[in-house]
Amino acid sequence: MFRRSFNRFCAGEEKRVGTRTVFVGNHPVSETEAYIAQKFCDNRIISSKYTLWNFLPKNLFEQFRRIANFYFLIIFLIQVTVDTPTSPITSGLPLFFVITVTAIKQGYEDWLRHRADNEVNKSTVYIIENAKRVKKESEKIKVGDIVEVQADETFPCDLILLSSCTVDGTCYVTTASLDGESNCKTHYAVRDTIELRTVESIDNLRAAIECEQPQSDLYKSLGPENLLLKGATLKNTKKIYGVAVYTGMETKMALNYQGKSQKRSAVEKSINAFLIVYLFILLTKAAICTTLKYVWQSTPYNDEPWYNQKTQKERETWKVLKMFTDFLSFMVLFNFIIPVSMYVTVEMQKFLGSFFISWDNDFYDEEINEGALVNTSDLNEELGQVDYVFTDKTGTLTENSMEFIECCIDGHKYKGVAQETDGLSQTDGPLPYLDRADKNREELFLRALCLCHTVEVKPNDTVDGVTESSELTYMSSSPDEIALVKGAKKYGFTFVGVQNGYMRVENQRKEIEEYELLHTLNFDSVRRRMSVIVKTQSGDILLFCKGADSAVFPRVQNHEIDLIKVHVEHNAMEGYRTLCIAFKEIAPDDYERVNRQLIEAKMALQDREEKMEKVFDEIETDMHLIGATAVEDKLQDQAAETIEALHAAGLKVWVLTGDKMETAKSTCYACRLFQTNTELLELTTKTIEESERKEDRLHELLTEYRKKLLREFPKSTRSLKKAWTEHQEYGLIIDGSTLSLILNSSQDSGSNNYRSIFLQICMKCTAVLCCRMAPLQKAQIVRMVKNLKGSPITLSIGDGANDVSMILESHVGIGIKGKEGRQASRNSDYAVPKFKHLKKLLLAHGHLYYVRIAHLVQYFFYKNLCFILPQFLYQFFCGFSQQPLYDAAYLTMYNICFTSLPILAYSLLEQHINIDTLTSDPRLYMKISGNAMLQLGPFLYWTFLAAFEGTVFFFGTYFLFQTTSLDENGKVYGNWTFGTIIFTILVFTVTLKLALDTRFWTWINHLVIWGSLAFYVFFSFFWGGIIWPFLKQQRMYFIFAQMLSSVSIWLTIILLIFVSLSPEMLRIVLRSVRRRSTRVHHLISSSA
- The mean-pLDDT minimum among 94-98, 463-467, 797-801, 979-983 falls in 463-467
Mean pLDDT value across residues 514-537: 85
pLDDT at 15: 38
Q: Please report the pLDDT score of residue 461 as a whole number.
A: 43
158 φ/ψ angles, rounded to the nearest 5 degrees: -80, 120
Query: Does residue 696 have a pLDDT over 80?
Result: no
Q: Is the pLDDT of residue 497 over 60?
A: yes
Find the mean pLDDT for residues 953-972. 71
CA atoms within 13 A on the CB side of 224: 15
Q: 1084 vs 939, which has greater pLDDT?
A: 939
Residue 425 has pLDDT above 50, yes or no: no
Q: Are 518 and 594 in contact (CB under 8 A)?
A: no
Confidence of residue 1086 (pLDDT cuts 50, 70, 90): low
H-run or E-run covering 293: helix 266-296
In the 8-state DSSP scheme, what is residue 191?
A: G
Amino acid at 725: T
Q: Are 620 and 543 in contact (CB under 8 A)?
A: yes
**For 1012-1049, how does the pLDDT look when each residue is reduced to its tens digit (9 = 90+)?**
999 999 888 887 766 555 555 566 777 777 778 778 88
SS3 for 365?
strand
Percent of the chain with pLDDT over 70: 83
Give the bridge partners for 683, in sequence order.
734
Q: Is the pLDDT of residue 928 over 80?
A: yes
- 535 SS3 class: strand
Kindly report which listed range (71-80, 136-145, 241-250, 414-423) carries the lowest average pLDDT score: 414-423
Percent of the chain with pLDDT over 90: 18
Q: What is the mean pLDDT of residues 70-94?
A: 77
Q: What is the pLDDT of residue 330?
A: 85
Locate all alpha helices (DSSP H) within 934-1046, ordered by sequence.
Answer: 936-960, 975-997, 1003-1023, 1039-1043
Q: Which residue has the higher pLDDT, 360 or 90?
A: 360
Whether 908 has a pLDDT exceeding 60, the answer reads: yes
State the Cα–Cα distance between residues 757 and 763, nearest whole angstrom: 10
Of the candidates 906, 931, 7, the one whose C-alpha atom is nearest the C-alpha of residue 387 is 931
Supply the pLDDT for residue 804.
78
392 included as an active-site residue: yes
3-state secondary structure 876-917: HHCCCCCCCCCCHHHHHHHHHHHCHHHHHHHHHHCCCCCHHH
Other beta carbons less than 10 A from residue 1012's beta carbon: 21
993 has pLDDT over 60: yes
Question: How high is the pLDDT of residue 505?
Answer: 92
Give the tens place of pLDDT for each residue, 109-165: 778 778 878 888 888 999 998 888 899 999 899 998 999 999 888 899 999 999 988
Q: How confident is the model at residue 715 (pLDDT cuts 50, 70, 90)?
A: low
Q: Dihedral sign for Cα 996, 999, 1001, 1007, please.
A: negative
Long-range contact list for 65-71, CB < 8 A, 24+ apart? 66/343, 67/272, 67/275, 68/275, 68/338, 68/339, 68/340, 68/342, 68/343, 69/95, 69/98, 69/99, 69/340, 69/343, 71/279, 71/338, 71/340
Per-residue pLDDT of 780-836, as tens digits, reads 889 888 888 888 999 999 887 677 778 888 899 998 886 555 667 777 888 898 888
What does the mean pLDDT of the chain come to? 80
In angstroms, rounded to a whole number, what is the distance separating the alpha carbons of residues 69 and 931? 26
Annotated active-site residue in 145, 158, 392, 829 = 392
The reported pTM is 0.73
Q: Which helix H or strand E contains 664, and what residues bound it? A: helix 661-670
> Can you tell me the distance from the alpha carbon of 899 to that of 483, in angstroms, rounded to the nearest whole number?
62
For residue 1025, give Cα distances in angstroms to 154, 629, 1020, 1030, 1059.
Answer: 65, 88, 9, 7, 32
Task: Please state the separation of Cα 825 from the chain's center in Å.
Answer: 8
Cα dihedral across residues 1021, 1022, 1027, 1030: positive or negative:
negative
Question: What is the predicted pLDDT for the residue at 459?
Answer: 61
